[in-house]
Amino acid sequence: MNVIHVSAECYPIAKVGGLGDVVGSLPKYQQEAGANARVVMPFYDNKFTAAHKFKSVYESELVLGEDIYPYKILKLKEDVLDIEVLFVDIPEFLFKDYIYSDDDTARFTAFQIAVMDWLLTLKEKPSIIHCHDHHTGLIPFMAQECVKHKPLNGIPVILTIHNAQYQGWFSHDKVHYLPAFDIKHIGLLDWDGMINPLAAGIKCAWRVTTVSPSYIEELQQAANGLESLLSHEKEKCVGILNGIDAEVWNPETDEFIIKNYSAKNIQTGKTANKKWLCKEFGFSASKPLFAFIGRLVYEKGADLLPEVIDKVLSKKDCSILILGSGNPEVESELESLRNKHKGVYNAFIGYDEKLSHLIYAGADFLLMPSRVEPCGLNQLYSLRYGTIPVVRSIGGLKDTVVDVKDGGFGFSHTEASEGDILQTLNRAIEFYKDQPEFKKTRKHIMGIDHSWDVSAQQYIDLYNSIKSG
């Protein structure tokens, strides 16, 4: 089975969030399960591409509207990754020092056209095209409707929704960017008067997956305008829980952290990592340390953090550390709290992969007050590193975190509200005081297996069910 994953992100090449983690690891585990899985992604101007050498395996031109652009398909000269990655190099559009911008329509439409044009030229066609999020949502439509790409129409196309909040909307003025298709079928591209790549992907993909079982249920009630579409298409939708790359996220071997540890020496390992974090950010190591890592956006409940932090820290019985970037207002509120709560609060505004590993290793609790959480990887990483998750019970968080009061190992609340978060934080602070129970719980969570083994196989079973059915 030849699977080609099409994505805007893939760790360690280019990552903004969880999409990069999934596309960087799922194919590796699919390989181990016997499938031949590859990735095709844009060639960006970033640290990874600057540090490696590439060779061209295909060169051509693509047509976007009335214009023609040269492009290449590149491969790494040396095998430095566990999986094969192909890079679409369209200098005009993709070779930028960012992944996303405010206007990505031309960039990602050109990317998708180049991918489809190149696939047409392959002698051995993929047996599955697996698209990820709206940046690749036009591919199922192109395979089904565009005259040029009709030869690919027999290949099953899967669309995985990692986040339905972002849909890639653009106006009908730009529909001519797409290769020719029968205009009678323009309705497949449209949702509410706009061209909507995510909606088009949902309509045209052979199967749609979401990254947790709960999320697929929730999308029928709240999908940023696509509720009725997802209810209508529910027969072809399935939720498959994300896994984690157990090699990258392994406290026993993690090169980023201060002291490696396993469940056996968790006490000394966590203590050493916490000590480093506390020194670095000016905290006392005797207090419970809560951390938040993520995009500072509404879906993550980031706007609730400043008020919650201000209130919970008035008692000074815990410390809080934030790592994230996003909404400028939230960023500046979080920065300005530093002076008021010196010694118990700090924030690193920005993106820092190494620091994220140090935090998973050194914090006692991880906060995730998300309004929407399709799966969430942070809580899975935190479990692996013995850091107890404190989450809103939604989406994948609901599927992976069981509250201590229900015999589980984490803390959860039902509402993304200041009151609920505060109450739950206070429960966790109390729990920390019972050190034997706290230590037993964090040792237990390190043993919970969220590696990709099971879910990678579920995807393969899904591919097989389409081919045979």
Ligand X SMILES: Nc1ncnc2c1ncn2[C@@H]1O[C@H](COP(=O)(O)OP(=O)(O)O[C@H]2O[C@H](CO)[C@@H](O)[C@H](O)[C@H]2O)[C@@H](O)[C@H]1O
Interacting residues toward ligand X by CB under 6 A: 17-19, 21-22, 162-163, 211, 242, 293-295, 323-325, 351-353, 356, 373-378, 396
DSSP 8-state secondary structure symbol assigned to residue 177: G
Q: Which residues contact 77 (CB under 8 A, 6 or more apart)?
A: 52, 53, 54, 55
Minimum CB distance to ligand X, residue 107 (Å): 20
Instruction: In whole angstroms, give the CA distance from residue 65 to residue 253.
Output: 50
Instruction: In whole angstroms, give the CA distance from residue 43 to residue 154.
Output: 28
Nearer to ligand X, 189 or 375 (CB): 375
Residue 157: phi and psi, rounded to 5, are: -115, 125
Instruction: In whole angstroms, give the CA distance from residue 259 to residue 270.
Output: 8
Per the DSSP assignment, residues forming a β-bridge with 401 are none
Nearer to ligand X, 94 or 323 (CB): 323
Per-residue HEC secondary structure of 337-394 comes to HHHHCCCCEEEEECCCHHHHHHHHHHCCEEEECCCCCCCCCHHHHHHHCCCEEEEECC
Minimum CB distance to ligand X, residue 364 (Å): 17
Find, among 385, 349, 151, 168, the residue nearest to 263 by Cα: 385
Minimum CB distance to ligand X, residue 133 (Å): 8
Q: Residues at the annotated binding site for ADP-alpha-D-glucose?
A: 15
Minimum CB distance to ligand X, residue 102 (Å): 18
Q: Residues at the annotated binding site?
A: 15
Nearer to ligand X, 140 or 374 (CB): 374
User: Do residues 320 and 291 touch, judged by C-beta distance below 8 A?
Assistant: yes
Minimum CB distance to ligand X, residue 305 (Å): 13
Nearer to ligand X, 310 or 352 (CB): 352
Nearer to ligand X, 144 or 393 (CB): 393
Minimum CB distance to ligand X, residue 352 (Å): 5
User: Do residues 72 and 54 touch, judged by C-beta distance below 8 A?
Assistant: no
User: Do residues 60 and 118 touch, judged by C-beta distance below 8 A?
Assistant: yes
Minimum CB distance to ligand X, residue 134 (Å): 12
Find, among 279, 254, 129, the residue nearest to 204 by Cα: 129
Nearest residue relative to ligand X (C-beta):
17
At 100, list the tokens: 């996303």
Nearer to ligand X, 119 or 372 (CB): 372
Nearer to ligand X, 99 or 116 (CB): 99
Q: Which amino acid is at 118?
A: W
Minimum CB distance to ligand X, residue 14 (Å): 12
Minimum CB distance to ligand X, residue 467 (Å): 24
Instruction: In whole angstroms, give the CA distance from residue 277 to residue 274.
Output: 5
Instruction: In whole angstroms, give the CA distance from residue 63 to residue 178.
Output: 9
Find, among 401, 393, 391, the residue nearest to 441 by Cα: 401
- What is the largest distance, in Å, between two alpha-carbon atoms of the chain? 69
Nearer to ligand X, 119 or 446 (CB): 446
Nearer to ligand X, 90 or 208 (CB): 208
Q: Under DSSP, is residue 295 helix (H, G, I), strand (E, B) or coil?
A: strand
Of the CA atoms within 13 Å of residue 146, those in its CB half-sphere come to 21
